[in-house]
Amino acid sequence: MNGRRELVGIYLEPAADAPPQHHAVLLCNPFGQEAIRAHRLYRVMADRLSAAGHPVLRFDYYGSGDSAGDDDAWDLLGSIGDAQAALAELRRRSQAPRWSAMGLRLGGTIALETARRAALPAQVLLLIEPVLNGMAYLDSLAASSLVALNRGYGVRWPLSARLRHTMLPTPQAEALGFAISPACRTQIEAVTPDRLLPVPAGRLSLLVPSVESTLQTLAQADVDLPANAAIANSEATIDWATDSAAATAIVPMHWIRYLIGALALPDHA
């Protein structure tokens, strides 16, 4: 629970045959169709972390997945609050003295801001293909929505203004079937590269599609990452924002190995 916001999560104890790591891990979902497409990744990641001896919690934000609330109740700030509540529950159940978090896409922003608000600093934050420019992210979701509608309606889509108005009366208010309220849009637009600083963890790792373009983005924003932050190629080309997400099952296993390896490093590394 986050106040009156009823949340659903799955908590995994460390596997009985694994050496206990005393290091809990919180998994923060991305938004909308990206969360649907990443569902199997998160489930497998949770299973592998548990098998490696970590207590782990994956959960749904209010207004998403199996948690209470309609889709249009989802927003970024509310989800950060939900993640704070999830972290408190993870620490209560596990009694682990250390914790870390992983977030994919907008889930990276949520993991980052949750760590920033936490009383106990995170050991490791792994942000996979994180959103560094909220306005560009929203534009990409809008473009994906148009591609999906054009694919579904074919030649009728560019020719029929009535169809376009009926199916997408306010293009900026939804993304592939998921509502984006004006307040939520404003919150996402505020996501910029400088939100990475100061790093609220012992180590920050970014897995990105292109290290070079990410470094350019950071340089243009005058963001100079400290020594405890690292950027590496995600070594995957995945269109997370697609309405065909339900038919896919993508699990880059090297991401899971990367996270487990990062968690195993000594605190002073």
Total tally of structural domains belonging to the chain: 1
Which residues, other chains included, contact 216 with Cβ-Cβ below 8 Å and sequence gap of 6+? none
Any domain includes 190 = no
Could you list the mean pLDDT of each consecutive 10-residue stretch along the chain, which spans 269 residues? Answer: 89 96 97 91 97 98 94 94 98 97 98 97 97 93 70 59 60 76 94 96 97 96 96 90 62 95 76
* CATH number for 216: 3.40.50.1820
pTM, 2 dp: 0.90
* Residues spanned by the domain of 226: 8-132+196-264
CA 21 to chain centre: 24
Q: What is the pLDDT of residue 141?
A: 87
- Do the domain assignments include residue 28? yes
Determine, yes or no, domain membership for 159.
no
What is the SS3 string spanning 27-93? EECCCCHHHHHCHHHHHHHHHHHHHCCCCEEEEECCCCCCCCCCHHHCCHHHHHHHHHHHHHHHHHH
The answer as to whether 209 is a domain residue is yes
